[in-house]
Amino acid sequence: MKKTFTSASAGKHLRRLEDEKSQLLRQEHDTCTYVLAQGEKDDAPDYDYAATRGRVAAIDAEVCKVRHALHAFNMATTLPDSDLTIDEALIVLAQLSAEQRRLDAMRSRQPRTRVSRRHGWGSDASPSLVEYEYANYDVAQAECDYQAITDRICDLQLKLDLGNQTVTFEVDV
């Protein structure tokens, strides 16, 4: 049977399958063994080893097919109004986000900051010396670069959102 997905719906389908598997494994954990006291009547909980193993294997096989199709889709599908595939865009987005974090720290610094340091050890330490730490770059330029990176991230995220919600692919499940 073929199913049609968008990237977003495939993700939701995969989460549903993983949730079903987790629930099945929790039930298995609770029912695959039981304890009887000496002289107690045998009242085993409902548990079917073969059926449980079969359902887990079926879920794993479907997850594998959908994940593979999703990865192939991401590698082959170009984002609207872009020359990047979805896979490339996800990599670029991670790189831009790391750069954004670095620029955020740099733009937050003052061009000059007063710092105090004690020289010496213990009671022999001399009085604090006043020193200044200087940014060795243009803080205003770091702010501009931060804003430009933020705009690029936003633009790329919107393109990814559009692609994830509108472009479809089929999986034989």
pLDDT digits (tens, 9 = 90+) for 15-33: 999 999 999 999 999 999 9
At 48, the pLDDT band (50, 70, 90 cuts) reads: very high
pLDDT averaged over every residue in the chain: 93
For 61-92, give the DSSP string: HHHHHHHHHHHHHHHHPBPTTSS-BHHHHHHH
pTM above 0.85, yes or no: no
pLDDT of residue 80: 83
At 46, the pLDDT band (50, 70, 90 cuts) reads: very high
The SS3 of residue 126 is: strand
pLDDT digits (tens, 9 = 90+) for 99-132: 999 999 999 999 999 987 666 665 555 666 788 9
Query: What residue ranges do the domains of the chain occupy?
Result: 2-172
